[in-house]
Structures are given as C-alpha cells and as structure tokens.
Structure 1
C-alpha cells in the first residue's frame, strides 16, 4: 500500500492526528491560547496553517508524541498486540462457526458474494493475543515501528480524549461550561488521502485504506459482496463496524423471510380469481346501504369486485402460517445475532475490554457546578444533582414525550376527519371512474397525508443525564418511543378501529403500509446521500471561485476534509432508528402485508452501500469509538418482537376475515356438521350473503350491510339484535388470540433456550485462550524477574 501524502506536518515526518479549525475574527482568542498552551504541556505538538480557499479560516494541526500516546493508551486501557501469537499456543480460530461457514462455502465454485482478498491487507493484530497496554511491559508488545504501532484511528481517539479533558481557563483544573470544541468551528481526524486512485486497484494496489474501503466496500458495484468488517473496524472503530455487521446480518436474515412472503403473495395471485368469496362478490346482485348520510347513494356489492380480489392477495389461507413464521423468524434473528456478535467480539478481542472512565457532560457540569459531592469511587469532588431536581426533570421530560404523543394522536384524528370528508366528496362525483374507485383515492391520499405528517413530526428532537452513555440511552429510548408512535399510530387505527367498509379495512392497511414504506425509504435515502452530495457540491463550487481546478486537486487533506459534511450530533442514532422502525414494520403488521420483508430487503441492500458511500466519501472521518454491542437497541428489538406477536394475532383475528370464514366453514356453511360434504372451495359458498345483514326500507325494499344482526320481522318491533353467529365469531376471535399468542411465545422461548448465546466452539476457544494467557503472563513475569536477579547478582559480584 502506498504511503499517504499531505497528512504530515511541514517536516513530512510528524503525522497529523487531529485538526481544529477556527475563524480569525471569532471570539475566545485568549481562551484558545490558554487551551493550546495546555495541550502542549500534555505532550501534543501543533502547527497552524492559513486556509488557501478562505483567508478567514485557520487550521490547527495536532500531532501526538510517542510518550503521550503510551501514557494515554495505558490510561484508556487500549489493547495492543502481545508477542505471543495464538497459533503458537495451539489455538485454532477456524473452529469458530463463522470460519466454518466460510470453509463450507469454499466448495461452491466462484461464490459471487466473496470478497477478493488479494488486495486486502493482513491485519496482524487480529491474529495475535492483545493485552491492555502498559509502559512497564513495553518490551512484551509487538512494536516494529513506533510510528505505525498505534493505528491512525487509535491515535485520533487518544488525542480526542486529551482534547476533551484539557481546560481552557487560567487557574482551573476542569473544563469550563462547555467542551473546548466550542472554541473552534470544526474538529475532526483526517481521512487517509483520496478515495479515488490514479490506477486500477487490481494492477497497482490501493493508495490508502480509504481508497481500499471505497473499492472493496463503498462502490456501488460491490452491492452483492460481503462487507470487509475487519477493515471497517480498523478505519472507523468498533462502534461503526458493529453497526454495519448488524445491518448486514439483518439483511441476510431478510432473504428467507422475503422469499416466503413473496410466495404467500404469489399464492394469493394464483387463487385470486378462483376464490369463492371473490366470485360471489363479483357476481352478486345485492344492493348495499349508503356509506354516509345525505349525499351518499346505494351501491352494488359487485362494484367492490376488484377490491375483494386485491384483499385476497394479503388475506388468504397462508396468512396465519406466515404470521407464525415471522414471529419465530424475529426470535431466530435475535438469537443468531447474539452468536454472531459473540464471534465478532472474540475475533476483535473485546471480551475483556474495560470501559473508559466517562466524562461528565459539560451541560451537566455547567448546571450543577455549585453543588458538588465526593465521588465514592474516585474520591474526587464532582457536580451533583439532587434527587428532587432529578425527579422533577424526569417528570417534565416524560410530560414532554406524552405531549408530543398527544400531538400525534390529534394528527391521526385529523386524518380520520380528512378520510370522512374525502369519502363524501368522491362519492358525490358523477363520473363513473371516481364513483367506482373512490376507495383507492381515499386510502391513497390518506396514506400520503399520514406520510407527510410523519416526516414533519420527525424533525422534532425532544432531564439532564450525567454522562454521555446515560444521555444516549435516555435520548434513544424517548426518541424511539415518540417516533414509533408517530409512525405506527395511524396504522394501528386503520388496523383495529377503522370502520369495515366494503371488503374490510385490510385493503386500507395494505395500501397505507406500502405507501409509507416506499415513500419513507425513498425520502430517507435522499436525505442520507442526496442532501450531503448537494451540500458538498455547493461547497466545492464556492471553493472554485478562490482557486483553479488544477489547484483544487493539490489542496491539502485538511482543506478537502473540511469541505465535507460532519457526522450529525446524534451519531449512529438516525441510522439505527431507521432500521429499527423498519424492523417494526416488517414484523408487527406482516400478517396484513407479506411483501414488507421484500421491500425491506431491497431497501437494505441499497442502504448498506449508501451508508458506506456516505461514510467514505461524503462525511469527514468519524472518530473511532469502542463498543461491545449495539447498546439499548437490542432491548428495543426484543420489545418489538413481543409486540409483533400480539399485533399479528389481533390483525388475523379482528382485521382479516379469517375467523369469520373459519366459523362459517365449520358451523354454518355447507361443510358444517351434519351438512353435505364438499370441497374446501364449496365450503365457502354463500359466505358473502351470510355475512351481510338486511336493512328494511319498506315492505318491498331491502338493502344489505356488513354485520351479523337479525333481519326485521313483519308486524313486530324489530331492533336488529346481534345473531348467535356474531357471538360464535367473537368467541372464536378471542380463542384464536389466546391460542396464537401462547403457541408462538412457547415456540419463541423454546428456540431461545435451544440456541445458546455463545457457540460451543467459541466457548472452548475462550476457555483455552484464558488458560494459555494466564500461563503466558506468568512465564513472562517470571522471566523478567529472573533477568532482574541476574543483573543484580552481576552488579553485586562486580569487583
């Protein structure tokens, strides 16, 4: 791999580990001087450069010395490669399930999903035992070159650690009311050069790791390849690598779900024209009651022929099977993800990683700097928030969440009013097309309006947590709750509360889910990639007014990176939130929309490359952060899986016609007990007529409506009371919900019990490695002690 250029100080030997940017006319110049002086005292070297494209900008280049890196690597418990490599210990990582899977695929000729590893670098530390770095055992670590011992991402991470903890006011031992980054307009580590190479990578190799990531990961032509997770981890850190590992695993698990969901949809297509219920509706001569008061007219049941066929696509005999499959699929997905995560954590040697001491949030410190207490662990004074203040802020925060949820519910009722108005307007049209297809217009425009409301409320960003992890978990939980209600409240209304017009509300539910999924995915993809591309294009256009095109190519790396977009304040929150909400759509209402996994699969294939392209080409290099899992998102996924079982049970029992058809087939139809036997198709004959009640206008005029009520009798006061069949159906619905939930939850618990979180082969490797490491450290310490005794004896015996 070629050495990077434009990433060093003027002497071309000291690497730039971090860059700070400020405007010359900005305030706080005295504080910046104090801050930079304190940084030099910590062991950082700095060099300033004026911007070529903007005379108002100044770049502060930062380089960390070897002594400073060693000091903070020890303080942050960073694990580095030890001298004893695992193969010498007899440990074989090929026993891991992921490696076994790779060996299993070797017999497949030219597997198109495998990456070409010819140009991928050998990451030596992945094959070595790593241990927390200490300066006392410096000789026991594998150090070929001090300049490359710590990777670029680790160097930047340690410099960022120093920047966060360095004060910028005279006489203070702590940071001020905000982080030191408030003194600068930008702060970022540098990319390792350009992502575009001058020659093909297959002939000349990669120019740098960024170029390699683009060619083997972020380029659109690699959409079907496996992701180079080790390289992503080396360049961006474990937190981002785990996100891409999770979304890749989720996408792979969507393949069988998409295949079965598409098969259910095809089954509906093939049986659509032969369905007894649809044929009865299409050939019916029954006249139905108006759907509104006043201007609405009577209509023929046969007018809803096409909608009955469309509903059959999603409401057929395979629906229950698919709902059970998706509930089990969600459990299998989560259980196998835990196994995959365990493999990655072991492979990346994160099992014994110690959490870094979390810095108190500057906002928290500024708020409670006057009320301090002694930390029982560190013994140092720190800002303290009283219990009453914490409760009051928690109550205010919860009230804000419920207020926003109330706004969402009001918006849903607004859409309900809109649907009622549109229904009356469409029906009053005299045109035959509008009169026949108004359900499509009503459901379609209503779904589009709901999508607009969802996107408008999405921009809302709603306690004072003490640390960054507490703030992140609190923010994640609150924002997910709000966004989940915002996205799904209207869908719950359509599924369980909307009046059952014509062929039921399943058609409305299917259309709403399809429209929201497609439009939301298109919008998110545009905002994730299209918007940053437009912003970067505009920034480069303004730069071209200052320099020529030839000079643009020769700009230093810090100038090029500064023109890129910075990662948003919320980190990976938006990326995870988008996928988790999609997971909810795929599982919660999948019984009503079996094509949801297929749409999610197509979107995720694009999403992975969009995110990769964005991280590599459109964003400044993100700071590497350690992580062992995906955090609070896993608990949210488990909660969605439980909710999905309950929701699908109610969708099948309440929203669809599965239970009424079943009751009719075994109790009231031609195939009921004591009745004439027939084929399964004949068992549903006359079902439509049986499911409609009679409304009497006068003695010779009768109209039908969808319900189970007694018909009016002559010379009697009739009250349209509910029939016995209604109570049978209600009892069957309740029984189905109870049986379905208990059965699926039992299967889920059984699968979770049978699938261990850590593969057996991995557990054996971990135990063996732990034993060998203990022996290795003991022998190393013993050898060091023996050498010290020899030296002491030698000097003692020296005449």
Structure 2
C-alpha cells in the first residue's frame, strides 16, 4: 500500500510507524521559515530582505490559520528554555510541518511567559495518517447500524429524542440530525494528531521522538486537544456539542434523564463513553435490586416480627450472666439482657426474607454481568469498534530503559528486549511489594479491631453509665469511622505505589502496562476497602475458646478474645458497611466536585499575571482548566467497582445497600459529567473496544460475591442454626438462645474479679461441654454437626447459583440473533458487490484482449 504525504508516495509496509518515513531535519544551512520561538532563537541585529519576506509570509500564514480551526495545542514556558531545548522544539515543529500540519505560535494574553503552539491539521493529512495508524473512523461504517433504545418520554431530552419542532433543534441541526458522522470528528482529529506527536522526532537518534518525552523533561509543559467552544449556554446563534452536553447531560437536574451516549462518544471518544455507558447501566440495574432490597427489608419486619420478638424477649428477660470479656481485675460480669437492644435489631438484618434477598442478589450479579456483555457488544457495533485492536507497539519508555538487544525472529531487526532472568526478578520484587503492602493493610485492620475491643472493654468496665447503654454498639460505630479514615488515607498512596511498581516491571507494550497497573491498583484497593468487613464477617470470634484459656489474652494482642455481641455479628457487619459506604461516598463526592473547582480557581489566579484582562480565546481558557490525568477514568472505574463489591458481597448485612448506592450514583454520574464538560481539558479520544481489564475484574468480583454471600448466609447469620433448631427442637425458637452459649465455672478464673458475689458459673458464646463433663470445655458433637451443615449449605448455594449462571449465559447471547442476521446479511451483500466488481474487471480485461487481437489481425 502506498501513502501520499505532501506529494510523496511512501510504501507503508516498509514504514516503522510514523517516524521512519518522515525526513530527518537537515542541518539548518539557511534561515528556513519555521514556526518558532521568538527572541531566544533569533540573534540577528538587522533584518535583511529575506527575513522581511519571511516575516510577511508568517503574517500571511497567521491570517490564514486564524480562519481555520485550532485542533491541538502545545504549551511551553519561555523562561525554562535552554539552547538545547530550543533546538529540540525547532526540530520537533519542523518535522511536524513537513508532515503537512499548519502551525502558529502565539503568546498567552494574560501571561507573557507562556506560548501556545496552535496546530491545524488539514483533513487530507488527517485521513492519510489515520489510514497509516490503522485508526478506523466513525464515518467508515460498514456493519449493520444498531439504533439506540428509545427512552420513556419523561427520560427523553432533545439529545436522545431529536424533535424538529424543538427550538434548540434549528440552532444545532448539524449535531442533532446526524446519525453517523459524515466526516472525521473533532475528537478523532485530536487522536490522530496525538498519535503523530507521539512518533514525531526531535533529534537525530531513533529514540529522540515523542511529545511525552518532551513533556517529561519539562521542555513542553502540556499538550491537549481543544474543546469545541465554551460550555456556557447562549440564547442566540448556533450551539456547539459542549453546550448541548452541559445543559442536557452534565446537570444535576438531569439525574433521571437518559444519557446521550452517541454524542458523548462523538465528543469524548470511546474510553470516556464506555465509562458513562457502564455507570448508566449499573444505575439501571440497581433499580430492581434497590426495590427488592427495600421490599424484603420491610416485609421481613411485618411478617417475622412475632417470631423474632419472642427471641428478643428471651434475651431481654434472661437471668444469665456473661463471663468477662477482658483480663484485669476491674472487668465485670455482664447480664445477657444488656444485649436486649441488639437482639431487637437482629431481625431487621437476619430474617428469612433478607437471606432470600442475599441469594437473589447473587443471581442478580450474574444477570448484571451477562447483560453488560450484551450491551457492550451492541455499543461496539453502534460505535464501529469491533475491528479495534489493542496497541501492541513497543513503549518508548521500554525502549529507553532497556539495555539488552537481540535480533527479532519476526522482523529480523535488532530490537530491545528484557532477559527472562531480569523480567522474573522484577516481577518477583513487584509481587513481593504488593504482598507486603497487603500485609500492612491487614495489620492496620487488626489495629482497628484491637481498638474496638479496647473501647468496648473500657466502656463496659466504666462506672459512668452515660455511654454504656450498649458498649459494643458504641465501640463498633467509632471503629467504623476509624476504618473509614484509614481507607481514605491509604487511597491517596496506593495509586502512586502501583505506578512505581509498574514502572519497575517495565512492560513492553502500553496495553500490558495499563493492565498491570489496573490489577495492582485494584488488588491494593480490594484489601484496603474490604479487610475490616471480611474480618467481622468471617474471622471475628472464630478463635475464641473459653474464658479460662489464658492464650486468648496473651496471643496476637488479645485478638482471640474479640467476640461479637451475644445476639450475633451481622449487626456489627451492617454498621461497618453503612458507615464506609455512606461516609466514603460523601467524602469522594466532595473531593470530586469541590476540589477541582478550587484547583481551577487557584490555577487561574496563578497563571493570570494581569488579572484585569479577560481570557476569550478557546485555547487559553482550555489551558486554565484542570489537566486531564492519564488514569482519570481508571480511578472512576475503581470507585464504582469497589462500591459494586460492597453491594454484592455483604448485602445480607444491610438490604437497603443497593438503594444507597443508587442515590449516590445518580449524583456521581452527573458530577463526573460536570467535571468533563466544565472543569477538565478535553481528553484524547483513545480508541478502546471495551472495558479492557475491568471486564475481568467485574467477572472476578461477581464470582467472589456469590461465594461471599454463601458464607455470610451460612456462617455470619444464624439462618442455618435457627432452621436446624426449628426442625429438630422447637418451631417457635423458644430456648434457641440457650443453645448458642456454654457454661464456665467462675472458680477456674486465674484472676479474682471481685464482683462475682455468690455467682458460681457464667456463660460465654459457643457450643462446648460444661465443667462437670469429662471433656469439659471441648467442642460438642452438636458444634461439628452444625458446622458440617453450614459447609453443605455453602456448597449447595454455590452450585445452585452457578447452575443458574450457566443457564443465563446460554439464554442471553452477547449479540441478539436478529442483529447477527443483519450483520451477516450486510457482509454477504458486501462480498457480493466485491465479487461483482472483480467479475466486471475480469470481463473488461478479456474484452481488451479481444480488441488487441482484432487490431493485430
């Protein structure tokens, strides 16, 4: 294939990306007019005729460029330039001009130290480079076009249901009347220019290329595509896409409106549009989950109140004294009836309907995953992304840091590589660091648990009864707040740690780098967010033996003596879940909405040397916005998938959790949209075919959620042991509480607590033999029987859900059958047209041969 660049035909198959066919800048033997720098790069005292002509040409070019759209901007500061950096910038821009781009340098109207390199790319040049880089443009649509789902009337806007009678339609007719773009979009222009900039050379060495290196060495300050215009709404004149998105999408008043995904994709590109499509889909799926959770929660109160009131009455009227949960003289024997309030709460979280809801949520998560795969496939077709492949080209950073070279078996060229020993050592070091950080987080979690235990003991042994109505509840709530603070503090660190470790690994391709970074970040976030919750659900009170066992108080900081309330652990689990879920989202919402505004204001104040001047040019106002960080979308995915884990893992502890998540996400989506349209520079519209690594993480979270719900139902709640008791002993649960506790002889305490009085025995949670039994304080046969049934319940639950999952995956194909038929029919038609064209070409050639023979005769 031959590519024409500025009148020169180049064989694309012999090109190494974009930089090898670009002519190297020759030594500057004559003053070639170049878009460059002002006073620092010119040293002549008196301009000659040639320079006067050059200046006139520049002025003419500026006037011509001002009439055209500025597609991309590069920013540098004149005060930071050296002779070497000036040479690199001149070479870089000269090479860019030789590729056919039109450039102009202009100063910043409010800060003379800042200059902008404005880039205009003619459509002809953009199309050539798009073909060279294999970028399939939106208007090159071949497959069957899948239409967007029509929203309900109350959810529709002018963007999702265009109406020619709407007053806005006439002002935005080119935007609203398009289904498929008719030419290359502005977002695609930014992508193509960025790809060229990433390969554009600035020196003689093959490694001296790319805008990233120039930014990392502070030669350039930043580079970004330009917004289509201001976001502020105007009452007259034509409207741009940014104004439409701001009014009908990125507004809290539109929280119930359907998103204009096609316009988001057109303006921001697939990477951003896939995130908002996933978040909108997640919110939609949360609606039935929220309704079901609230329904089960309320109905459980109404139907099972009598049964659980009887159970609460048994706790509230019990004469039983519980053994001290600490190991010093001031510890007290606590009456079981002090857990009365806790016992009343238990039926809110631990009744048969809530347990059923937890099982249904496991099935919901599998529906969620399968239906998202279907939606993702449909979006790929709609946005012409099915042929998009991952960029497997070598990272410049890999090439720069690698010192080993070998002949490639594929290309036959000398290429950098990383020896297996070095690679293995780097990955081992990275994995060890991740495991060490996880261990630190787990130790922090144990510290929080020790704090909760200490506070509960202090409150229990206190003579002041102001805050000791329910010491365990107070300690649990304060511990939840401390856990939230721990999570938020560590979240500020693990992103930087993951970046450092991924740089240490030095993956060969950008795809491998992004996936490695994503998996590391999520692994750290997983432990950071869920460690305390998993501990309460599955570890707490599992290692408690009996009060006379001194090892409980001396081993691992006394964590073995950490017990749940006699009424159960599920209430404490629910308290931690709600505190983290609500508190974290409040903090993050404030951080994402308020902090960007403050940064934006400070940036404007810092970069405006003359505060009286007003910025009116688009590239200048865009420069004053917050820079769009490389992994911004990844951080947004992270928060939402962490929340998805809270909703699916421990929903049995708090059934209204999906409703809280839904309320938060409706606001979160619009705040993210506001940030995109108002607070951030326009991102480069990278082509991605799907959610990449996040699809695998979603699948893993869904499967973990099924297992977690099974263990919560079997081990954290009392569902299994209650049903065993109802089946074998009493259907009204009378006497059930007494079967969950065991007796201990007070005289066997090593300490004299001094408050026992005439008390001879006390009780503690567990099923162990009494003091007068030959196997005293050993686990009873009933304990092992119930433990076996619990594990059996986990296995049965998981197999049922997995069976349903398989059926759902079989019933719901990724692409509907009717769409497949349309696609196959369109491809058959395309093949038929190609075959007909080849046949006509062959007949014409045969006809020419006959005419040639006839002429000879």
TM class, shorter-chain normalised?
0.7 to 0.9
Equivalence for 1:482: 524
| CA drift at 1:491 | 1.0
Distance 1:173 1:266 in 2: 66
Which stretch shows the higher mean deviation, 159-168 or 180-189?
Answer: 180-189
1:224 is the counterpart of 2:256: yes
Q: Quick check: 1:117 aligned with 2:162?
A: yes
What stretches of structure 1 of length at least 5 have no aligned partner?
1-7, 131-141, 143-148, 672-682
SS at match of 1:572: helix
| Correspondence 1:264-279 to 2 at 5 A | 264-270=296-302, 274=306, 275=308, 276-279=310-313
Q: 1:84, 1:687 → 2: CA distance?
A: 68
Q: 1:501 and 2:565 equivalent? A: yes
In 2: Cα distance, 1:178 partner to 1:636 partner: 29
2:5 equivalent in structure 1: none
**Aligned to 1:423, which of 428, 444, 456?**
456
Residue 444 of structure 2 is aligned to residue 411 of structure 1: yes
1:306 pairs with one of 336, 341, 347: 341
Deviation, 1:404, is 0.6
Q: 1:151 aligns with which of 179, 185, 197?
A: 185
Give the direction of change, closer, same or farther, for the CA distance of 1:792–1:560 in structure 2 (3 Å limit): farther
Counterpart secondary structure, 2:653: coil
Deviates more, 1:418-427 or 1:757-766: 418-427
Relative to structure 1, the CA distance from residue 747 to residue 652 in structure 2 (aligned partners, 3 Å threshold; closer, same or farther) is: same
Cα displacement (A) at 1:163: 0.5
Q: What per-residue deviation string (whole Å, max 9, x for no partner) do you get for residues 422-471 of structure 1?
A: 12222233222322122222111111111111122212222010111110
Deviations 1:560-591 (A, max 9, x none): 11111112232421011111111111111122
Q: CA deviation at 1:170?
A: 3.0
Change (3 A) 1:310 1:797: farther
- Residue aligning to 1:706: 765
SS class of match (2:819): helix
TM-score computed with the length of structure 1 as normaliser:
0.86
**Map of 1:223-242 to 2, 5 A cutoff?**
223-242=255-274
Name the CA distance, whole Å, in 1 between partners of 2:202 and 2:97: 12
Aligned-pair CA distance for 1:85: 8.9
Could you say which residue in structure 1 is the equivalent of 2:622? 561
8 Å CA contact retained: 2:480, 2:575: yes
Match of 2:421 in 1: 388
Q: Is 2:677 the counterpart of 1:612?
A: no
- Alignment pair present for 1:626 and 2:687: yes
Q: Which residue of 2 aligns with 1:283?
A: 317
- Structure 2 CA distance for partners of 1:261 and 1:54, relative to 1, 3 Å: same
Q: Is the counterpart of residue 516 in structure 1 residue 563 in structure 2?
A: no
- 1:281 deviation in Å? 1.6
Shift of 1:697: 3.2
**Quick one: structure 1 residues 172 and 273, their matched pair in 2 at CA, closer, same or farther if it must change by over 3 Å?**
closer
Structure 1 equivalent of residue 283 of structure 2: 251
The question of 1:540 aligning with 2:598 is answered no
Are the aligned partners of 1:188 and 1:623 in contact in 2 as well (CA < 8 Å)?
A: yes
Name the counterpart of 2:705.
644
Matches of 2:383 and 2:465 in 1, distance apart? 66
- Specify the alignment match of 2:12 in structure 1: none
Q: Which residue of 2 aligns with 1:653?
A: 714
Query: Is 1:321 matched with 2:356?
Result: yes
1:526 matched residue in structure 2: 590
In 1: Cα distance, 2:141 partner to 2:201 partner:
40
1:46 correspondence with 2:95: no
> Structure 1 residue 451 and structure 2 residue 462: aligned?
no
The C-alpha deviation readout for 1:138-163, integer Å capped at 9, x for no partner, is xxxx6xxxxxx321111111111111
Tell me the distance in 1 between the aligned counterparts of 2:791 and 2:736. Answer: 21
Distance 1:421 1:786, change over 3 A: same
Give yes or no for contact 1:412–1:490 (8 Å, CA) kept in 2.
yes
Match of 1:22 in 2: 76
Counterpart for residue 203 of structure 2: 169
User: Following superposition of structure 1 onto structure 2, how do residues 458-473 of structure 1 map, counting pairs within 5 Å?
Assistant: 458=491, 459-460=493-494, 461=496, 462=498, 463-473=505-515
The alpha-carbon deviation at position 209 of structure 1 amounts to: 0.8
Between the aligned partners of 1:278 and 1:388, the Cα distance in structure 2 is: 64
Deviation at 1:721, TM superposition (A): 3.6
Contact 1:18–1:156 at 8 Å: present in 2 too?
A: yes
Measured against aligned partners, the alpha-carbon deviations of 1:538-580 in whole angstroms (never above 9, x if no partner) come to 22344566132xx42x521111111111122324210111111
Deviations, residues 308-346 of structure 1 (Å, cap 9, x unaligned): 222221111113311221111111111111111111111
Q: Which residue of 2 aligns with 1:334?
A: 369
Contact kept in structure 2, 1:126 and 1:348, CA below 8 Å: no
Please report the TM-score for the alignment, with normalisation by the length of structure 2.
Answer: 0.80
Q: Deviation of residue 648 (structure 1)?
A: 1.3
For 1:768 and 1:116, how far apart are their aligned partners in 2?
28
1:135 is matched with none
| Partner residue of 2:395 out of 361, 368, 377 | 361
Equivalent position of 2:224 in the other structure: 188
Tell whether the 8 Å contact from 2:316 to 2:336 is kept in structure 1 after alignment.
Answer: yes
Say whether the 8 Å CA contact 1:178–1:366 is kept in structure 2: no
Deviations 1:505-546 (A, max 9, x none): 211111111111111111222222211111112223445661
Contact between 2:137 and 2:188, CA under 8 Å: does it hold in 1?
Answer: no
Cα pair distance change 1:787/1:437, threshold 3 Å: farther
1:689 counterpart = 2:718: no
Aligned to 1:734: 791
**SS at 1:432's partner residue?**
coil
Moved more, 279-288 or 206-215: 279-288
**1:580 matches 2:637:** no
- CA 1:438–1:788 in structure 2 vs 1: closer, same or farther (change >3 Å)? farther
Any conservation in 2 of the 1:272–1:313 contact (CA below 8 Å)? no
Q: Residues 341-356 of structure 1: matches in 2 within 5 Å? A: 341-356=376-391
How far is 1:374 from its partner?
A: 4.0
1:43-122 alignment to 2 at 5 Å? Answer: 43-80=100-137, 102=150, 110=154, 115-118=160-163, 119=169
Of 266-275 and 752-761, deviating more is 266-275
1:292 corresponds, among 303, 323, 326, to 326
Pick the aligned partner of 2:814 from 757, 765, 774.
757
**TM-aligned CA distance change 1:738 to 1:65, over 3 Å:** same
The 1:315/1:474 distance shift into structure 2, 3 A limit, reads same
- From 583, 593, 600, give the equivalent of 2:654: 593
- The DSSP-based 3-state class of the residue aligned with 1:25 is helix
| Cα distance in structure 1, aligned partners of 2:847 and 2:429 | 69
2 CA distance for matches of 1:544 and 1:82? 41
User: What is the aligned partner in structure 2 of residue 139 from structure 1?
Assistant: none
- Given the superposition, is the C-alpha separation of residues 22 and 711 from structure 1 closer, same or farther in structure 2, using an over 3 Å criterion? same
The whole-number CA distance in structure 2 between the counterparts of 1:193 and 1:84 is 27
Task: Provide the secondary structure at the position in 2 that maps to 1:693.
Answer: strand
Deviation of 1:352 after TM superposition, in Å, equals 2.8
Q: Is the 8 A contact 2:198 2:211 kept in 1?
A: no
- Is the contact between residue 156 and residue 189 of structure 1 (CA under 8 Å) also seen in structure 2? yes
Q: How far does residue 386 in structure 1 lie from its aligned partner after superposition?
A: 1.3
1:84 CA drift (Å): 9.8
In the alignment, is the contact (CA less than 8 A) between 2:138 and 2:384 conserved in 1? Answer: no
Which region of structure 1 is more displaced relative to structure 2, 609-618 or 648-657? 648-657
Q: In the alignment, is the contact (CA less than 8 A) between 1:85 and 1:127 conserved in 2? A: no
Count residues with an aligned counterpart.
Answer: 737
